[in-house]
Amino acid sequence: MSNAYQYWMEEMETLSRPALAAIQTEKLKDLLIYCQSHSRFYEEKYAESGISISKVQGLEDISYLPLTSREELEEDQRKDDRFGNLVCNGREEPGQTIGMTGIKFSATGRPLRLIMSVEDAATQGKLAARGLSCAGVEARDYMYLMDFPQFNLLYMHMGLGSINVGSKCILVGMERAERNTSIYTRLYPPSCFYISPSYSKLVTKLLKQTKGRYPIRTVLGWSEPGYSLPTWRNRFREMWSEVSTEANINICDVYGMVEVGLMGVECPENRGLHGFEDAYIYEIIDPETGKVMQPGEEGELVITHLERTAMPLIRYRTGDITSIQYETCDCGRTHLRLAGIRGRRDQAIKAGSRKIYQSMIEESMGGLKRFSGNFNVVLDGSDDISRINIDVPDTESTEEIRQEMQELCSKNLGVPVTITPRPKDEILTFIHRSQKVFKAEDRERLVKEAANQRRAET
């Protein structure tokens, strides 16, 4: 198929809302019975809470079940030498895959060990195929998968999705980009890049140095703000257009977590991330009270697996802030859409009654095309601040530009902002996944990570 609106499972992707609800209800009941009898973690959790799964008869009853946090899973694994009591299937079954999350940027600093069954991998491969098709990837494409592969189950999912779609997946990874862009692009002219926004900046620069143009039609990826932010999406489209022979380039955001899986992909309409409601139940809660929010209201995303056999998660707090909309997209898909990921709950800057996330600063900065987008907000541990200080490289910012930044950010963020120029080498920048808002106590660790990323590219 070669048009703007592609499907990999059209019937499922365009089901009516009542039909989707019926599927979710049946799968939820089956999941609860399965977890009650196979997972000691849920058996003990529900027993301690006095929860009877028999009371869950419809989707509206899911709020009766307690939430599950990453901290609970970490504590569970501390009691066990490997995967904890959450695991439902036999740990020595053949063909299982082991991964880990939180190796680099975990808020707690403690990685979470994961195991995935053959059935789980197959499910994720199908969801990835639906997501890639949604973004416009076709069988004719050479897709460069430039993601971090170490312990990253999502990397495997996208490879399986590419196989299902029929495209040719080049497993490039995230190291030695100069070699990769100068050698492999001649052998396999890229038409699709699966790449983070930060790495996208480096790779487009290197592609320009090859003096070539490539049939690049689609760029998609996850891990940080960028592709879902209108100002930056436009800037990325301009960057990629400089190395592409194609008139139109799709820039599509992707959302996933290693412990959960692929949860959303944008289509070329860029009106939010299309979910997979036959595989997950999506909820938005007030992060402080746990109360379920209404459609369109912003809060913390909670996910329940409906098709997971090894380590299923029930009402898992992702920590990510977003909102949900249910209107059918112009592409024809009926599953809900996530309105982009605003930021992580534990990384919010509290300024009076407002909470400011990195994506909000990114969007404001993105409108200034004279600015690269490199900045730092270093938090000193104060619970609340009255003014946000944004450090920027002095080499990129004249007094006039800094004044413009200050006025624009203050207006868009709704709080006073001070722009402070710093020597370029004092601004913490990342080649791969970036973290621009961080606590002062984490700076040393992040400096080492940024240095490791630079070394990997030499």
| CATH code: domain of residue 169 | 3.40.50.12780
Residue-level length of the chain: 458
Q: Of the residues 345, 378, 397, which one is the last residue of a structural domain?
A: 345
pLDDT at 96: 82
Residues 323 and 378 reside in one and the same domain: no
Q: How many Cβ atoms from other residues are within 10 Å of residue 133's Cβ? A: 25
Q: In terms of C-beta density within 10 A (0-12 exposed, 13-18 middle, 19 or more buried), how is residue 305 classed?
A: buried
Phi, psi of 75, rounded to the nearest 5 degrees = -65, -40
* pLDDT on residue 2: 38
Give tens-digit pLDDT for 117-173. Answer: 999 999 999 999 999 999 999 999 999 999 988 889 999 999 999 999 999 999 999
Residues 95 and 58 reside in one and the same domain: yes
Q: Cα separation of 277 and 17, whole Å? A: 10
| Final residue before a domain boundary, out of 297, 325, 345 | 345
Q: Give the pLDDT confidence score for residue 384 in this predicted structure.
A: 72
> Within this chain, do residues 293 and 387 fall inside the same structural domain, yes or no?
no
Burial 190-214 (b: 16+ CB within 10 A, else e): bbbbbbbbbbbbbbbebbeeeeeeb
pTM of the model: 0.93
Same domain, 154 and 171: yes
- Dist. CA 147–CA 124, nearest whole Å: 17
Q: What is the pLDDT of residue 224?
A: 86
* Whole-number pLDDT of residue 105: 57
Do residue 394 and residue 338 come from a single domain?
no
Residue 110's pLDDT is 79
Query: Which residue is it, tokens 């030695």?
Result: 176
Structural domain count of the chain = 2
- Let me know whether 173 and 205 are in one domain: yes
Domain boundary among 315, 345, 375: 345
Q: For the chain, which residues score pLDDT lower than 70?
A: 1-5, 81, 91-92, 94, 103-109, 383, 458
Can you give the CATH number for the domain in which 355 is found? Answer: 3.30.300.30
Same domain as 261, residue 160: yes
Same domain, 33 and 166: yes
328 and 353 both lie in a single domain: no
Are 217 and 147 part of one and the same domain?
yes
What is the full DSSP assignment across 256-298?
A: EETTTEEEEEE-TT-SSEE--TTTEEEEEE-TTT-PBPPTT--
Whether residue 297 is found in the same domain as residue 225: yes
Question: Containing domain of residue 442, as a range?
Answer: 348-456
Separation in Å, CA 249 to CA 47, 228, 237, 330? 52, 14, 6, 18
Tokens read off for 188: 């396999």
Residue 426 and residue 312 share a domain = no
- Whether the CB-CB separation of 10 and 3 falls below 8 Å is answered with no
